[in-house]
Amino acid sequence: MHIFLIGFMCSGKSRVGRELAPLLQLPFHDLDRVIEQRVGPIVPFFQRKGEAAFRAIEAEVLKELTNGSDAVIATGGGTPCEGDNLALMKDAGRVVWLDVPLVDLMPRIERSGGDRPLLFGLKGDRLRERVELLLGPRLPVYRKADITVVADVLPAMVAERIRAALDERQLR
């Protein structure tokens, strides 16, 4: 069974995934890194080809990973919101939403979110407005996850929360 980590940009999906995979004795895949192996750095690709081209490759790579052996897979912030991606993930395993309150998320985005294609070059109020604009329609999709884990602590602790939640679900 695959474990898919979803959540907004800078919610810690990649870092938590690297912590979670050994706990579950599964390999780890970062969807964005797999995409980069095919198209090069995402920001220039996104700027040259546009979001639709990126989302098409993202969906293709996601399908390939779900057809592979069981793994922990960190998705992009918009991955579950596009097409049939969420249904595909739910059919292939458990979907875990890393829920980070906006008050905790914004400092993370301000520190390291500037390299994200949808936030590129934004700062201050314009950055916060863009985050809120993107987050609004994504939240109802994220809430459809099988498991929600508040991810406001260190990645190793979030990984432990996920493992406990997965263990609890298997006992039912």
Report whether 73 contacts 9 (CB < 8 A): no
- Among 41-45, 54-58, 79-83, 133-137, the minimum mean pLDDT is found in 41-45
Question: What's residue 168's pLDDT?
Answer: 83
The residue ranking higher by pLDDT, 47 or 70, is: 70
Q: Round to whole Å and give the CA distance between 118 and 88.
A: 24
Beta carbons within 8 Å of 23's beta carbon, 6+ residues apart? 159, 160, 163
- Among 36-50, 78-92, 121-135, which range has the highest average pLDDT? 78-92
pTM (predicted TM-score): 0.92
Burial 31-41 (b: 16+ CB within 10 A, else e): bbebbeeebee
Which residue, chain included where needed, has tokens 């198209």?
A: 39
Please state the rounded mean pLDDT for residues 116-120.
Answer: 72
Q: Domain locations in the chain?
A: 2-165
Asked whether residue 111 carries a pLDDT value surpassing 60, the answer given is: yes
Asked whether residue 172 carries a pLDDT value surpassing 60, the answer given is: no
The residue ranking higher by pLDDT, 67 or 130, is: 67
Question: What's residue 125's pLDDT?
Answer: 84
Which residue, chain included where needed, has tokens 């700027």?
A: 47
Q: What is the DSSP letter of 9?
A: T
Fold assignment, 2-165: Rossmann fold (3.40.50)
